[in-house]
Chains A and B, each alone.
Chain A
């Protein structure tokens, strides 16, 4: 009876948790809009930097809660979640950026036009970024006994993606000495959604690789799809610009819609997986 209650609660939470967190994100953007209009941050660089950094971290916390709550059947230890988040944040600084700059000379060819960027996003940037996150999870938490269900792949990969995006967002905020609060918050939200969603998507296949025997190609295909997502992201960015004109709202809306689509697919995969586990568990009880 106690188990049934937990399952019913789990099903209910599955339906509502995503909606709550998306709502929280909109509230955050509204707060950014309000603060942007009420507080004169333009003339106060220190305050602007502080508020931009605060929003960068807040965005990550909202998404962290979103992904964490999806795994309500057997929540992961908070300590491990925090460790993976920090490890993810270290990736762009210690591994990915030095690799992209030092070995793949990204700055040399990134200004070589749209086609070059598309190729670069898919075949170099997407591969290196997602491979680094994947290897981090694969050779740490994947080997731990706490990684005991398929959904854990999504949770830990998403958390690493969130850490990664947080480090990038903070770097963006610091290098620009703070940002326009509204535009900055929306842009950081979309980037965070994108990283978390694409990583979570791969995480699903990583989880399946551990628990579904004979699943040889799933991880490779999931990875391939993820790097293609980075190419689509580049096309969206390219499409939202025309010549020298720069339409930030168009770009933000399109990236948000794309990120949301991947996130919905990922959450859908997670729910499907959890439903199956609940079904198996119910079948075992009868």
Chain B
């Protein structure tokens, strides 16, 4: 085979090896990333990455999916919570509005230490309306003497809270992780949120 100073025969074999390695690598990576499990509960369903672990409560109105392989002491997680709106509110036959959602957000602020909220915007998904916002708070990891430092971790999160069409219930979806991992995983979290299907919604 004729070769030039720019392409030796050894280069050709090298490029073949590189193509094979990268090809196998891409296939394995894409297959693993795209493998999903389905959660089908009484109130809603969701698809999530196969290697994440899921926990649900007995009534099926709350699930938490955790990436136990997160490179942080705080494991990245997604949660979905179905919240039934106060019966009194329903009985008043008030036109569905986002007030219960806003009240829920205020409740969150009180629960989480040093809670900060940014970029709130209204949204409309699957015939449900609601709000989306980014937030941050401080998480104090449990003491563990083997760690170099037990310093608090700043958690960043993305939340989407959607009210159903009748205004009788809303769904709080939250993605939370160590702030260092937030940006790189946000789109993945949003993709998982997009797979949420609520019974009764189209």
Contact = CB atoms under 8 A, between A and B. Distances in A.
A127 interface: yes
Interface of A: 104-105, 107-114, 116, 119-120, 122-124, 127-128, 131, 134, 138-139, 143, 209-210, 215-220, 223-224, 227, 244-246, 248
A111 B184 CA distance: 11
Contact of A108 (B5, B33, B51, B148): B33
Contacts of B188: 108
A119 B26 CA distance: 10
A219 B144 contact: no
Contact of B17 (A122, A124, A143, A223): A223
Contact of B185 (A107, A113, A224): A107
Contacts of A110: 71
Given A111-B69, A116-B29, A127-B25, A216 B18 contact: no
Contacts of B21: 122-123, 127, 224, 227
16 contacts: A107-B185, A111-B69, A111-B76, A113-B51, A119-B25, A123-B21, A123-B28, A127-B22, A215-B10, A216-B13, A219-B10, A219-B13, A224-B17, A227-B21, A244-B73, A244-B144
B175 to A, nearest CB: 14
Q: Is the interface of B mostly helix, strand, loop or mixed?
A: helix
Interface in B102-131: none
A127 B24 CA distance: 12
B25 A120 contact: yes
Nearest to B67: A111
Nearest to A139: B6
A139 B33 CA distance: 35
B69 A245 contact: no
A135 B148 CA distance: 40
